[in-house]
Amino acid sequence: MRISFDNAGAALGNPPATDSVDLSKLADADSATLAVLIAWSAQARARGTTLRYLNAPPALRNLAHLSDVDGLLGL
């Protein structure tokens, strides 16, 4: 699984249908990845639910922490 600048637009238009996302197969993480995850969380909140991110790889956790959005994403 990869969410990057190349496919972020498509990912934004295809939010998860469930209340949790397993990120264990996420191959890479950058600011586009964070933007999509934040947008998906906002879309879930607008539907009245909370989106949980499970098994986030260390690179994503580190990037989210450095960007100060780890709390927002529940990582």
List pLDDT tens digits, range 21-61.
Answer: 999 999 889 999 999 999 999 999 999 999 999 999 999 99
Provide the pLDDT for residue 45.
Answer: 93
pLDDT for residue 4: 84
CA distance 21 to 54: 6
In the prediction, which pLDDT does 27 show?
A: 87
